[in-house]
Chain A
Amino acid sequence: KQEVTQIPAALSVPEGENLVLNCSFTDSAIYNLQWFRQDPGKGLTSLLLIQSSQREQTSGRLNASLDKSSGRSTLYIAASQPGDSATYLCAVPGFQKLVFGTGTRLLVSP
């Protein structure tokens, strides 16, 4: 059974810092891994999708890496801004569904 863990559970940083969010999964036989952002009380916004054949995917200040062999992915946020404050979730495919991590709640202070 696929299990996904994210650490840290919460993170508070001052504006401008670079930061790394971690995601671990137990079953490395995955097609892809997706990172989502969720603002309080809102739905999920897809940030990055990394296919199993890729090692990295970049979008603006976000960079996600995938190491299937070790069952890990990281989301790197450069030059963090207060608008980055949200919960970040990673997810991997199960059978016809996504299995989500527990999320990292990020607060970026001005």
Chain B
Amino acid sequence: KAGVTQTPRYLIKTRGQQVTLSCSPISGHRSVSWYQQTPGQGLQFLFEYFSETQRNKGNFPGRFSGRQFSNSRSEMNVSTLELGDSALYLCASSPDGPLGANVLTFGAGSRLTVL
């Protein structure tokens, strides 16, 4: 079955702009998580959505937001981009169940460069 699909794979923006990243989970997975990866901070949890509801949120400013649609596809948005937002943004989906949130399958990521 198809894996987790993230689009776009690469994008370049300038400071002050906004960006929207998309993630299509594995068919049947209703949980989608987002992570930011930078050389300095490593992998940091952004937020997790389940059945269109944000279930958990990491320690990021309000410029970072997300949503999930009824087909489980998710988008994340970053407004008023800063240089420090340059990162690899990874999306992961997981199946339902008590331990489902802990068994993640990751997409290839969206590489954002802010100039």
**Do the beta carbons of A97 and B56 come within 8 Å of each other?**
yes
A42 within 8 A of B: yes
**Do the beta carbons of B58 and A97 come within 8 Å of each other?**
yes
**Whole-angstrom CA separation of A34 from B6 in the bound complex:** 22
A46 within 8 A of B: yes
Q: How large is the interface on A (under 10, 10 to 19, 20 to 34, 35 or more residues)?
A: 20 to 34
Give 17 new A-B contacts, CB below 8 A, not counting A93-B101, A100-B42, A103-B42. A31-B102, A32-B102, A34-B104, A41-B111, A42-B108, A43-B106, A43-B109, A46-B105, A49-B103, A89-B43, A97-B45, A97-B58, A97-B101, A98-B43, A98-B104, A99-B45, A100-B43
Contact residues of A: prevailing secondary structure: strand
**Whole-angstrom CA separation of A99 from B88 in the bound complex:** 17
* A and B contact pairs by CB, cutoff 8 A, 10 listed: A34-B104, A36-B106, A43-B109, A45-B106, A46-B104, A94-B45, A96-B101, A98-B104, A100-B42, A102-B42
**Whole-angstrom CA separation of A93 from B33 in the bound complex:** 13
